């Protein structure tokens, strides 16, 4: 039972971290977009943090699926 609670907390932590990193990345992209000239892509500089946030959200989703399957 304690292991399930720890996995649930891990899933919540990964989800929260992914959302926070995605929000900060979006803010940085919007901030840089205002400074750059037209035709320049502001997303190229933030590619790693975008992939990090996507990875955290996907791992949270996978853990949730694992927990749901284990409860049935």
**Predicted pLDDT of residue 40:** 87
Helix (H), strand (E) counts: the chain: 2, 0
Q: Within its chain, how far is the Cα of 44 from the centroid?
A: 17
**Predicted pLDDT of residue 38:** 86
Does the pLDDT value for residue 4 go beyond 70? no
**Predicted pLDDT of residue 72:** 65
- Read off the tokens for 14: 């990964």
- Read off the tokens for 39: 């035709």
């Amino acid at each position: 039972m304690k292991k399930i609670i720890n996995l649930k907390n891990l899933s919540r932590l990964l989800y929260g971290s992914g959302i926070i990193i995605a929000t900060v990345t979006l803010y940085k992209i919007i901030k840089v977009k205002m400074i750059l000239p037209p035709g320049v892509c502001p997303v190229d500089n933030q590619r790693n943090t975008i992939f990090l946030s996507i990875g955290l959200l996907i791992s949270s989703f996978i853990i949730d699926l694992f927990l749901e399957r284990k409860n049935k």
